[in-house]
Chains A and B, each alone.
Chain A
Amino acid sequence: MRFGRVILVVAAALLLGSAAPALAQTFVFGAQGEPVQFDPAVITDGISSRIIRQVYDTLYQFKAGSTEVEPALAEKADVSADGKVWTLQLRRNVKFHDGEPLDANAVVWNIERWMKTSHPQHANQLKAGQTFEYFEGQFGGFDDKSIIAKVEAASSHTVRITLKQPQAPFLQNLAMFPFGIASPKAVEKWGTDYGKHPVGTGAYKFVEWKPNQEVVLEPNPDYWETKAKNKRVVVRNIKDNSQRLAALKAGEVHAMEGVNPDDVRVIRADPNLQVLLRPTNTTGYVAFNYKVKEFQKKEVRQAIAHAINKKAIVDALYGGTGLVASQFQPPPLWGHNKELKDFEYSPSKAQDLMKQAGFGQGLSQITWEDGKQEPLSFWYMPVSRPYYPNPKEIAEAMAADLGKVGIKVQLQTVEWAVYLDKRKNGQLPLYMLGWTGDNGDPDNFVCYFFCNPGAAREGFYSNKPLADLLLRAATLTTQSERARLYRQAEQMIHDDVARVFIANNQPPLGFSKKVKGYVPSPLGDERFNTVEVQ
């Protein structure tokens, strides 16, 4: 009896303080996992980039909710007539969180650190096993390989960057999170440990990182743009999607990413919660291997494009956040071709095309160029991706659609790394994959896939005119001219049925209705300074 009473007393004591402590004016964001670190130059993961966005500014930045860029630490940027010399005028009276001034020397120091492998703060990172991956990707490489020939301080607040050749998305690239400007003094002070002590000029100062738990930020009172509308930001690491949703429903976090498609309806049905969608910047597709003789016939590719009921898949399997994709670039990108007419869903047309191709009796066996025959396998990835949130179910739906027109596929998958490996080596006959854009520029979307004709990685697809057109578009500086070329490229991809584009997804974010002022970004590039918790 006495034992029972003790239990009761302990339980009562525990439950008596069950009201959550006051979180007023603290914005708590539920992230999908643990950040890696906060040195923008060396990280590549989305979870760390979320924090980095709050702590650092870039020279140019993406407009809220858009892939277009606007001035940030640089008030304006002028480019020479030949497109090679950029002159950036820096904003005055901006200070890093450690009190150091943001001036041309600091910016030159940052760019040289990214670019030169001999820079002490670059060399030490290499030695520690880190790489400046984004700089290499966006600016052609390091040292002599870099597209940047020279960077210099023309005056105290003017930076001049000379390129070896014009780069159309130069400002888009500078607006990406890896090019956040760090305090040179802080980087030199902490060396390879700097990623745990980030110092930028952003709306928030870094306060604390509790490993496997949370990151705490506090407003920068001297911020040059909109000062934070909340008093504290806590980004909590909740690995499991269902538990993150539980925390949102219990009021322990105010916002969450990584909402399962099925949970979108759960959040919408809750009167205290709301769903906001990130504008789409991601496309899921079905790709062919051109070493398979059957797929060399355009009619077969067209038949597959007509056979798949994309709308039914999007309606049933994207939790209401998907859009039917007609082409590679999603609608918000300025290279998207609005005039392009997609293949309509028509099983009868697909059957006619199969007959024309000589497969009136159906297709279940394929022949590789080397003569090897095997059953037609259709590969889906084993992991959820933004463009395919339910890959297995989506694959099953597509297989059923294909079956209706006589194309019998065997569904297959394998561990993610092996999947990517097989794709890289051109071993998958018919497979699902997709892409999420990095910087809102069409080049980032299309060139990776179509600028290397015949690459094994792209199923040996070879279209030289398309590649030439894309390479030319990447060097022009007039956006309207580039847009025309990218629209033309989309039409060429469509006409050749190089891929079948299935869906664009608008990744959902869950919020408490107390949250106001959160603007979802197609690039996942949201800033928290405009967020209010009421």
Chain B
Amino acid sequence: MLSAVASLTTMGIALGGLLGVASRYLAVEGNPIEGEIKDLLPGSQCGQCGYVGCAQAATALAKGEAPVTLCPPGGRALAQQLAAKLGVKVDLSAISDDGPKLAQVAEEICIGCCKCIKVCPTDAIIGAAKQIHNVIREACTGCGACVDRCPTEAMTMVSVPVTLQHWIWPKPALNTAVAAHA
């Protein structure tokens, strides 16, 4: 009986010591998940999440300090992806998902002040002083920074209309009466 106690104790100490040594010398530096999260974010550094840039938001997300619903331009799809990557449960009903929105200039109201051009993170607005401004749709990320800057409220966010090319079949509704899983 004594020999059993002794042998188990010795094994415990030895293996525990091995684990401790491994945790010191084989530790993984940094958090690789941060890079993956950063790739998911839009990258326009718009600041709507409250962090200075997407990299800082990624760090906060990796640490678990920020909610996965922090990115308005990413919308519901991004929140779902972040939740999946971080393995957290998230209630997505609060995020209104009318789809992606792009900025649009109401040309009759625009006074050509260039204030919006200065804040656009992707230089998606073309125009010059006293000239009508316009938004290049392919470059707009929908961050909304220009809407706040416009002094005449000529800038609005409009939903991208669904066209034949971009329409997607909806997922079949589950017959919860008989089928089980989602």
Report if A and B associate in a common complex.
Answer: no
- Enumerate chain B interface residues (CB-CB to A < 8 A): none
Give residues in A with beta carbon < 8 Å to B.
none
